[in-house]
Amino acid sequence: MTARTGAPLLEVRELVKHFPIRSGILGRRRGHLRAVDGVSFEVRRGESVALVGESGCGKSTTARLILGLLKPTAGRVTFDGQNTDELDRAGLMGFRRRAQIIFQDPYGSLNPRMTVGGMLREALRVHGLARGRGAEQRIGELLEAVGLHSDDAGRYPHEFSGGQRQRIGIARALAVEPEFVVADEPVSALDVSVQAQVLNLLADLRERFRLTYLFITHDLSVVRHIADRVAVMYLGRVVELADCESLFANPLHPYTQALLSAVPAVDARGWPERIALSGELGNPADPPPGCPFHPRCPHPAKDERCRSELPELEGGAACHHGS
Amino acid sequence: MSAPVLQVADLRTYFHTADEPLRAVDGVSFSLERGTTLGIVGESGCGKSITCLSILRLIDRPGRVEPESSIKLGDRDLMELSEAQMRAVRGNEISMIFQEPMTSLNPVWTIGDQIAEAVRLHRGVGRAAARQRAAEMLGLVGIPKPEGRLNDYPHEFSGGMRQRAMIAMALACDPDVLLADEPTTALDVTIQAEILDLLASLQDRLGMAIVFVSHDLGVVAQIADRVIVMYAGQIVEQGDTGRVFSQPRHPYTEGLLRSIPRVTGKAARLTAIAGSVPSARRWPRGCRFHPRCPHAWERCREEPPLLLAADATSRCWLEEEPQRRAVREEAGP
CATH of residue B43: 3.40.50.300
Q: Which of B276, B277, B289, B292 is best to mutate for the A interface (most A CBs within 10 A)?
A: B276
Residue A178 lies inside a defined structural domain of this protein:
no
Confidence of residue A192 (pLDDT cuts 50, 70, 90): confident
Q: Same domain for B187 and B303?
A: yes
Which residues on chain B are in Cβ contact (under 8 Å) with A267? 221, 245-246, 262, 264
Question: In this model, does residue A288 exceed pLDDT 50?
Answer: yes
Whether chain B has a CB inside 8 Å of the CB on A197: the answer is yes
Q: Same domain for B60 and B80?
A: yes
Quick check: A20 and A185 in contact, CB under 8 A?
no
Q: What's at A257, amino acid-wise?
A: Q
Helix (H, G, I), strand (E, B) or coil at B155: helix
Residue A57 lies inside a defined structural domain of this protein:
yes
Question: Any idea which of A96-110, A245-259, B51-65, B220-234 has the lowest mean pLDDT?
Answer: A96-110
**Which of the 8 DSSP states describes residue B278?**
P
Average pLDDT (B300-306) is 89
Buried b (16+ CB within 10 A) or exposed e, A284-320: beebeebbbbbbbbebeebeeebeeeebebeebbbbb
Question: In this model, does residue B101 exceed pLDDT 80?
Answer: no
The residue among B136, B154, B174 that closes a domain is: B174
Q: Same domain for B255 and B320?
A: yes
**Which of the 8 DSSP states describes residue A314?**
B
Residue A33 lies inside a defined structural domain of this protein:
yes
- Contact: B273, A268; criterion CB under 8 Å: no
Does residue B117 come out as left (phi exceeding 0), alpha (psi in the -120 to 50 range) or beta?
A: alpha
Question: In this model, does residue B328 exceed pLDDT 70?
Answer: no
Helix (H, G, I), strand (E, B) or coil at A168: helix
- Contact: B221, A264; criterion CB under 8 Å: yes
| Closest residue of chain A to B247, computed from CA coordinates | A267
Q: What pLDDT shows up at residue A50?
A: 96
Q: What's at A32, amino acid-wise?
A: H
Question: In this model, does residue B152 exceed pLDDT 70?
Answer: yes
**What are the angstrom distances between the C-alpha of B156 and each of B102, B107, B144, B184?**
11, 10, 14, 19
Report how many domains make up chain B.
2
Residue A22 lies inside a defined structural domain of this protein:
yes
What helix, strand, coil percent values describe chain A, rounded to 5?
35, 25, 40
Q: Same domain for B56 and B194?
A: yes
- Give the alpha-carbon dihedral of B34, B36, B41, B47, to 10 degrees: 10
Residue A266 lies inside a defined structural domain of this protein:
yes
Per-residue DSSP letters for B190-215?
HHHHHHHHHHHHHHHHH--EEEEEES
Q: What pLDDT shows up at residue B43?
A: 87
Q: What pLDDT shows up at residue A159?
A: 87
Strand pairing class (A82-83; A74-79): antiparallel
Whether chain B has a CB inside 8 Å of the CB on A199: the answer is yes
**What are the angstrom distances between the C-alpha of B247 and each of B68, B105, B242, B312, B314?**
34, 40, 8, 15, 12
Q: What's at B244, amino acid-wise?
A: V
Q: Same domain for B204 and B312?
A: yes
Which of B188, B194, B222 lies nearest to residue A218, judging by beta carbons? B188
Q: Same domain for B240 and B126?
A: no
Confidence of residue A14 (pLDDT cuts 50, 70, 90): very high
Which residues on chain B are in Cβ contact (under 8 Å) with A164? 276
Average pLDDT (B36-40) is 97
- Contact: A280, B158; criterion CB under 8 Å: yes
Q: Same domain for B299 and B219?
A: yes
Question: In this model, does residue B311 exceed pLDDT 80?
Answer: no
Number of alpha helices (DSSP H) and beta strands (DSSP E) in chain A? 10, 10
Cα separation, B48 vs B98, whole angstroms: 13
Residue A133 lies inside a defined structural domain of this protein:
no
Domain ranges, residue A16:
8-90+99-109+183-190+211-308
The residue among B174, B200, B230 that closes a domain is: B174
Residue A140 lies inside a defined structural domain of this protein:
no
Domain ranges, residue B76:
4-93+175-331
Residue A207 parent element (H or E): helix A192-209
* Count of other CB atoms within 10 angstroms of residue A153: 20
Q: Same domain for B201 and B179?
A: yes
**Length of chain A, please?**
323
Q: What's at A286, amino acid-wise?
A: D
More confident residue, B99 or B48: B48
Quick check: A201 and A167 in contact, CB under 8 A?
yes
Q: Same domain for B187 and B318?
A: yes
Residue A291 lies inside a defined structural domain of this protein:
yes
Confidence of residue B102 (pLDDT cuts 50, 70, 90): confident
Report how many domains make up chain A.
1
The residue among B154, B174, B194 that closes a domain is: B174
Chain B 129-168, CB below 8 Å of chain A: which residues? 158-161
Q: Same domain for B211 and B163?
A: no
**What are the angstrom distances between the C-alpha of A65 and each of A39, A239, B152?**
11, 19, 35
Cα separation, B6 vs B239, whole angstroms: 17
Question: In this model, does residue B268 exceed pLDDT 80?
Answer: no
Helix (H, G, I), strand (E, B) or coil at B156: helix
Provide the β-strand partners of residue A217.
A52
Strand pairing class (A237-243; B76-77): unpaired
Confidence of residue A191 (pLDDT cuts 50, 70, 90): confident
Q: What pLDDT shows up at residue B188?
A: 86
Question: Any idea which of A65-74, B60-69, B170-179, B181-190 has the lowest mean pLDDT?
Answer: B181-190
Q: Same domain for B149 and B270?
A: no
- Contact: A258, B276; criterion CB under 8 Å: no
Q: What is the mean pLDDT of chain B?
A: 89
Buried b (16+ CB within 10 A) or exposed e, B133-166: bbbebbebbbbeebeebbebebeebebbbbbbbb
Question: In this model, does residue B331 exceed pLDDT 50?
Answer: no
Cα separation, B304 vs A252, whole angstroms: 52
CA distance B299 to chain A (A): 25
Cα separation, A36 vs A13, whole angstroms: 12
Whether chain B has a CB inside 8 Å of the CB on A114: the answer is no
Q: What pLDDT shows up at residue B333?
A: 38
Average pLDDT (A8-24) is 91
**What are the angstrom distances between the C-alpha of A88 and each of A8, A67, A82, A83, A84?**
22, 15, 11, 11, 9
Residue A94 parent element (H or E): helix A89-98
Average pLDDT (B269-295) is 88
Whether chain B has a CB inside 8 Å of the CB on A50: the answer is no
CA distance B162 to chain A (A): 12
- Contact: A193, B276; criterion CB under 8 Å: yes
B35 CB-near residues (< 8 Å, 6+ apart): B203, B207, B208, B209
CATH of residue A46: 3.40.50.300
Q: What pLDDT shows up at residue B127?
A: 92
Please state, for a pLDDT cut of 70, what percent of chain A lies above it.
96
Q: What's at A117, amino acid-wise?
A: G
Quick check: A37 and A237 in contact, CB under 8 A?
yes
Q: Same domain for B261 and B314?
A: yes
Quick check: A23 and A248 in contact, CB under 8 A?
no
Q: Using omega within 30 degrees of 0 as the cis cutoff, is the peptide bond preceding B144 cis?
A: no
| H helix intervals, chain B | 48-55, 83-89, 101-104, 111-123, 127-140, 146-149, 159-171, 189-206, 217-223, 241-246, 251-259, 298-302, 323-331
